[in-house]
Amino acid sequence: MKDGTQSIDANSSAENVEQHLQELEKADYELLYYSQEQTFNADELSQLINEERLNKLMTQSDEFLSSLDGEIKDFND
């Protein structure tokens, strides 16, 4: 009977995993669907974006890319 119990448990686990994956897929679809419905105008976006922080991040990314470019050139030599 132990083998029968394991088979039932395995089926239950597989069913649970499949159900969970279907729920995730549905949630992803709903998120995509609802995100496409929402439109933001420039004023709303400007309220959401921290311009000072964005500028700092852009400066850091520019510095990083510049240093990376230098490292790649040094590597080729």
pTM above 0.95, yes or no: no
CA atoms within 13 A of residue 40's CA, in its CB half-sphere = 9
Q: What is the pLDDT of residue 8?
A: 53
Rounded Cα gap, residues 35 and 15, in angstroms: 30
Between residues 69 and 3, which one has the greater pLDDT? 69
Average pLDDT, the chain: 79
Q: What is the pLDDT of residue 1?
A: 44
Q: Looking at the predicted structure, is the pLDDT value of residue 58 above 80?
A: yes
Region 67-73: mean pLDDT is: 86
In the structure, what pLDDT confidence band is assigned to residue 53 with cuts at 50, 70 and 90?
Answer: very high
- Close Cβ partners of 40 (under 8 Å, ≥ 6 residues apart): 48
